[in-house]
Amino acid sequence: MRVLYIFPHPDDESFGPAPAIASQLRLGHEVYLLTYTRGGATKVRHKLGYSVSEMGEVRLQEMADVAKVLQLTGMQVLDLPDSGLKEMNPIELEEITERHIREIKPDVLVTYAVHGISGFHDHLVSHAVVKRVFCKLQKLWDQSPVRLAFFTLADSDQDDGKFRLHTSNSEEIDCATPVAPEDIRKGSAALDCYRTYQDVIKEAKVLERTGNTIYFEFFQENFDSHVMSIFDNLPSHEPHAIGSQ
C-alpha cells in the first residue's frame, strides 16, 4: 500500500508520527511525505542568528537527513510561506496539493487532526486544505485515495511537556498503531536529525507523549474497536502495486 503524509513544516513528520512511518516502511508499504514550507520563520532562528531564508536552508538539510534515516519512499519540501499559509489563496494551496496527490496516487492520505495538536494556524490550514482536496478527488477521480487519516494524540497520552497539546478521545480515534522498539528508535533518530531543534524536542517530550502507540482518526469512518493500521479495513479499492505510479 501507499501513503502520503502532508504536513506544513519540517519536523511535523517526526514530532509524533515517525515511529508509525518507520513501522509502515518496515512492513513493506510505500511512504511519501509532502511538506508545504521549509520552516524558516521559526523563532529558533533568532538564537542562531539566521534569516528566514537561511533557517529554511538549514531545516531543508535536516529534513534530507530525516528522509535517509526513515528511508522514505519519496519526499518533497515546498517553499511556501512558513507561518503564512492562512494568508495564501486557499484555491492555490488546494491546487498544489491536488497535483501532488495525483502524481503519487496514494491509497491513504494523512495530515493533522482538526485541532492541529498544537493549534498552530498552519496546522489548521493544512487540515482544511487536505480534507477539501480529498473530498473533491473522491467525487472526480477514479484513482482517488480511499481513506483520509488524521494524526492525533490520545487523551491518555502524557501531558507533562512544556507545551499544552490538543488530543482526541477514544470515540474519535479509529486506529491505534502499535510500534516496535526498533520503530521507536528510528523515530528518535529522526528527531536527532533536527539539530537546531533539540531544546524544543526535549521540552516537548515528544517520544514520552506518544509512547509505543500512534493514534489516528479516520474521516467519515467509525471503528468502535480500533484497527491497528491505517491500511486495515480500507473501503473497496484495488491497491497500487509496489513501485508503480
What is the average per-residue pLDDT within 12-23?
A: 96
Q: Is residue 179 in some structural domain?
A: yes
Dist CA 193 CA 39 (whole Å):
15
Tell me how long the chain is. Answer: 245
pLDDT at 239: 47
Q: Is residue 181 in some structural domain?
A: yes
Positive or negative, the CA dihedral 168, 177, 202, 14 is negative
Domain limits at 82? 2-218
Contact, 137 vs 98, CB < 8 A? Answer: yes
Dist CA 170 CA 175 (whole Å):
10
Per-residue pLDDT band at 244 (split at 50, 70, 90)? very low
pLDDT at 175: 97
Percent of the chain with pLDDT over 90: 83
Residue-wise pLDDT for 42-78, tens only, equals 989 998 999 999 999 999 999 999 999 999 999 999 9
Q: Is residue 61 in some structural domain?
A: yes
pLDDT at 155: 85
Spatial CB neighbours of 13, under 8 Å, sequence gap ≥ 6: 5, 7, 21, 33, 35, 66, 190
Dist CA 29 CA 72 (whole Å):
10
Residue-wise pLDDT for 155-166, tens only, equals 865 555 566 789
Dist CA 155 CA 217 (whole Å):
13
pTM surpassing 0.85?
yes
Q: Is residue 15 in some structural domain?
A: yes
pLDDT at 161: 54
Per-residue pLDDT band at 200 (split at 50, 70, 90)? confident
Number of folded domains that form the chain: 1
Per-residue pLDDT band at 213 (split at 50, 70, 90)? very high
Q: Fill in the DSSP letter of residue 232.
A: T
Dist CA 41 CA 52 (whole Å):
5
pLDDT at 144: 97
Residue 227 has pLDDT above 50, yes or no: yes
Beta partners for residue 218, in sequence order: 149
AA letter at 239:
P
Q: What is the CATH number of the domain that holds 132?
A: 3.40.50.10320
Percent of the chain with pLDDT over 70: 93
Cell numbers describing residue 224: 468502535
Residue 126 has pLDDT above 60, yes or no: yes
Q: Is residue 239 in some structural domain?
A: no
pLDDT at 121: 96
Write out the H or E segment, with its range, that includes residue 34. strand 30-37
What is the average per-residue pLDDT within 232-245?
A: 62
The dihedrals phi and psi of 193, each to the nearest 5 degrees, come to -65, -25
Cell numbers describing residue 92: 492555490
Contact, 72 vs 30, CB < 8 A? Answer: no
Beta partners for residue 227, in sequence order: 175
Q: Is residue 235 in some structural domain?
A: no
pLDDT at 89: 97
Q: How far is CA 208 from CA 18, 178, 213, 239, in A?
A: 13, 15, 11, 34
Residue 23 has pLDDT above 80, yes or no: yes
Beta partners for residue 3, in sequence order: 31, 108
pLDDT at 77: 98
